Amino acid sequence: MVLFFSIFGAILIVYGGLRAIFNVLKVELWKHSSDYNSIRIDFTSKIVLALEFFIAADLVRTIIRPDLNEVIVLAVIVAIRTVVGYSLDKEAKDILSKQ
């Protein structure tokens, strides 16, 4: 289960990155009209969702084999990922509100 959540989170990030690269290339090479903010918002949403899967994987890992070190590491990781996820989500909402 832990491996599934971790792999799925990684797949989401890779998928979002490839989509962003493709959309940027479309804009730059083929002169398609697009807003870079929409590309950023799409990529950011994939990253935020992937972070949620990584947190779930860490939670399951800690439940399966709990010890004090694992709990401390989990707390730090969850705190960092939560702050990063919140910041990315807030940035995406700010971009959307400016459009």
Residue linked to tokens 């903010």 = 37
Mean pLDDT, range 61-70, rounded to an integer: 85
Among 18-22, 31-35, 81-85, 89-93, the least confident range:
31-35
Q: Dump strand ranges (E) for 11-87.
A: none
Going by C-alpha positions, the residue among 59, 91, 56 that lies closest to residue 74 is 59
Amino acid, res. 1: M
- The 10s digit of each residue's pLDDT in 77-96 is 889 988 998 898 888 888 77
**Number of Cβ within a 10 Å radius of residue 69:** 8
pTM as predicted: 0.79
Measured CA distances, 60 to 20, 32, 36, 45, 84 (Å): 30, 44, 36, 23, 21
Q: Which of 81, 96, 98, 83 is nearest to 40 (CA)?
A: 96
How far apart CA 94 and CA 52 sit, in angstroms, is 21
Would you state the pLDDT for residue 93? 83
